[in-house]
Amino acid sequence: MDKIEKLKKLMSIENLIFKRKIKKKKRLNRSTAGNIVILLFLLIFSVFSAYPLIFIIANAFKPLHELFIFPPRLFPSDPTFKNFSDLLILMGTTWVPMSRYIFNTVFITLVGTVGHVIIASMCAFPLAKHQFPGKTFIFTLIIYSLMFSGAVTSTPVFMIMSWIGLVDTLFAVIIPAFAFPLGLYLMKQFMETIPDSLLEAAKIDGANDFKIFWSVVMPLAKPAWLTLIILLFQSLWSTNGGGYIFSEQLKTLSYALGQIVSGGIARAGTAAAVSVVMLIVPITIFILSQSKIIDTMSHSGIK
């Protein structure tokens, strides 16, 4: 353990020196006017990017008659919390307790996310740091799999889940999440940036492949697997079970809230409140970890 700790300290020192060298190389000679132009350019695009989110949040506090004003207003003139109070009342009238929907969603999200991070990391490690027959062919298949959307693969996935008897269970959503191809691609590309000298030093100290993977590679690949957590969490949090879950007691929170707001125009305000409720958790996680996403994308080659 002492050797592993020394190795970690050495890696942290090397990373710090490497970052300082990069900063020195990337010093740009820009004028004050150029900096102002770039700042204004980024500010304009940030306003366009933030506008939809602000509009969704503002709609949740608008009374019903303001939701249908044309042209639409960004902020409510008469803010109200009635949409949220109506949502709480409707949540108490569901046939299955709302706590059951929440449990199903949390279970699917946590198990699916953690399972995928572990499986994708363990698969990416040999692809990035080992040589074996068929390595290039396997990685080519992974790249091609990124071209297929969920709509294309839904039928074969349903057939597989049916054959193994998992239809109408929570694992019919969890197991396909384990095979999220983008996660494996990101982990493989990020792990390739880890210097081989660190792995060789760990082998000289007597560490086996699993020890190297868990104690050396995974700490260095933290930005990558944090990115996977964010991407898959957002996907699983908003899932409604699709065509895999039919029992009402196994449905998710997204499905339950969708049923609540399906009452037409009279529930437009409640629908706006539901949109905010479903956005709170993913946006919070993204804001806390956005720097890790940028770091991962820059190392993995995704622009």
User: How far apart are the C-alpha atoms of 261 and 280, rounded to whole Å?
Assistant: 18
User: How far apart are the C-alpha atoms of 76 and 272, rounded to whole Å?
Assistant: 13
Which residue among 48, 80, 112 closes a domain? 80
Residue linked to tokens 């660190």: 198
Q: What string of DSSP letters covers 51-112? A: HHHHHHHHHTTS-GGGGG-SSPPSS-SS--SHHHHHHHHHHTT-SS-HHHHHHHHHHHHHHH
User: Quick count: other Cβ atoms within 10 Å of Cβ 296?
Assistant: 24
**Is the CB of residue 268 less than 8 Å from the CB of residue 64?**
yes
What pLDDT is stored for residue 111 in this prediction? 92
Same domain, 99 and 39: no
User: Is there a domain that residue 292 lies in?
Assistant: yes
Same domain, 203 and 138: yes
Same domain, 118 and 237: yes
Residues (pLDDT < 70) of the chain are 1-31, 263-264, 289-303
User: How far apart are the C-alpha atoms of 226 and 233, rounded to whole Å?
Assistant: 10
Same domain, 64 and 169: no
User: Is there a domain that residue 8 lies in?
Assistant: no
Same domain, 42 and 127: no
What 8-state DSSP symbol labels residue 192? T
Residue linked to tokens 């009238």: 93
What 8-state DSSP symbol labels residue 146? T
User: Is there a domain that residue 89 lies in?
Assistant: yes
Same domain, 95 and 51: no
What pLDDT is stored for residue 22 in this prediction? 47
User: Quick count: other Cβ atoms within 10 Å of Cβ 186?
Assistant: 27
Same domain, 54 and 128: no
What pLDDT is stored for residue 303 in this prediction? 44
Q: How many residues does the chain have?
A: 303
Which residue among 39, 60, 80 closes a domain? 80
The alpha-carbon radius of gyration of the chain (Å, integer) is 24
User: Is there a domain that residue 49 lies in?
Assistant: yes
Same domain, 204 and 183: yes
What is the SS3 assignment for 39? helix
User: Is there a domain that residue 19 lies in?
Assistant: no
What pLDDT is stored for residue 107 in this prediction? 92
What pLDDT is stored for residue 186 in this prediction? 85
User: Is there a domain that residue 26 lies in?
Assistant: no
User: Is there a domain that residue 20 lies in?
Assistant: no
User: Is there a domain that residue 294 lies in?
Assistant: yes
Cis peptide leading into residue 79 (ω within 30°): no
Which residue among 21, 56, 80 closes a domain? 80
Same domain, 75 and 194: no
Same domain, 74 and 188: no
Measured in whole angstroms, how far is the alpha carbon of residue 192 from the centre of its chain? Answer: 22
Same domain, 216 and 89: yes
Residue 76: which domain range?
31-80
Exposed, middle or buried by CB within 10 Å (0-12, 13-18, 19+), for 134? exposed
CATH number for the domain spanning 219: value is: 1.10.3720.10
0.85 cut: is pTM over it? Answer: no
Same domain, 210 and 62: no
Q: Give how many domains the chain has, as a whole number.
A: 2
